[in-house]
Amino acid sequence: MDAFFASVELLRYPQLKGLPVVIGGGRRNVDDRLLQSPDGSGPRDPRFIPVSDFPLLKDYVGRGVITTATYPARQFGVGSAMGMMKAARLCPQAIVLPVDFDEVRRYSRAFKAAIVEIAPVMQDRGVDEVYIDFTEVPGGQREGGRVLARLIQKSIFDKTGLTCSIGVAPNRLLAKMASEFNKPNGISVVYEEDLQALIWPLHVRKINGIGPKAGEKLAGLGIHTIGELAAQDPQWLMARFGKSTGAWMHRVAWGQDDSPVVTESEPVSMSRETTFDRDLHAVRDRAELSRIFTDLCVRLAQDLQRKGYAARTIGIKLRYEDFKIATRDQTSEAHIADAASIRQLAGQCLKRVPLDKRLRLLGVRASGLARRGQERAAVATVGPDAPPRPAAAGAAARRQRDPVGSMDTGQLF
């Protein structure tokens, strides 16, 4: 989907089309006031709010990162995952809006429903991305798949008012890269014979699976493009990146990917995290940290329950003021999905991390997931490499009957 989070907001505020808009940061009082009439007479129609009333990025105070930005904002160098303060220096005149997750999820479900009506073999890859197998769809091979891609674009737009960009290729690896070639609202078809002309000139980071660390290491070895990676001897890559990773790098540089489009897949984990507006101290800001910590656990429990899962392992993530990260996890004897048990296990994790520095970020993660009703079978399949921890399990089981508010406040926060 094209600038999905921003595009959803432009449906609500069509007067902002063509303007630099960024979505991100925390929700502020100014965002709530925007929807109220200046005279206090009640809510006003979002479509008719004057552009001059919208909050600007230059006035944003606090932390947070950009979720996405409209294409006019991207022309100034603003992009996803960029810090709000850095973005404000690049494009101070941009309008800034918070993320409306409920609305985003609603449109996500709508555009995916439009796709499966046409091409039912679809793999969900998050809120704004999917893989689709055209192989058995009638007309799926016409013009190399371009005809079906146009039909999908039209169906999504007719039902949601949103645009998307589609890459069509022999496999998922190349299709994902192709989907970035002609944004927004574009279609790009890549054939096997296009590998050297279209794929090899791209930077190695364009390969899904090569992250910042691997990209930096490759750059240190003088490898910047996919073509340069393809030119390396497989044994040379395996000696430097390990047998499995080195062999994989060579294959993908040659456009080889046999991973199927999987219509149903189980999530590995679920998490909730937040970046604070200011660095918080574990002692002096204990009350605020406790409130945030509990809220994260409650929201994580709601996610698990809404999607029908229970978790066996709960973990935490801390980012300190110096940007160093600490993670810990605790495994329960039984699967859990309630906020009280999640907070109890997460609290046990907190006792095992240093809290002598201020904190920038706090997160809670659930893994070892099982469908509700299938927890016993999932536990039975766990091998000796992941033994249960009965002490934590007993505490979690006792807390399962208690509301969040009655939990032990003697924890670190």
The residues that are catalytic are: 129
Residues 6+ apart with CB under 8 A from 66: 22, 23, 24, 25, 78, 79, 80, 81, 82, 83, 84, 87
State the residue for tokens 């899904």. 208
Residues 6+ apart with CB under 8 A from 279: 321, 358, 359, 360
**C-beta neighbour count of 188 within 10 angstroms:** 22
User: Can you tell me the distance from the alpha carbon of 68 to that of 24, in angstroms, rounded to the nearest whole number?
Assistant: 7
Which pair of tokens denotes residue 193? 């014979």
Residues 6+ apart with CB under 8 A from 18: 72
Residues 6+ apart with CB under 8 A from 145: 134, 168, 189
**C-beta neighbour count of 74 within 10 angstroms:** 18
User: Can you tell me the distance from the alpha carbon of 57 to that of 106, in angstroms, rounded to the nearest whole number?
Assistant: 27
The helix (H) or strand (E) run that includes residue 214 is helix 212-220
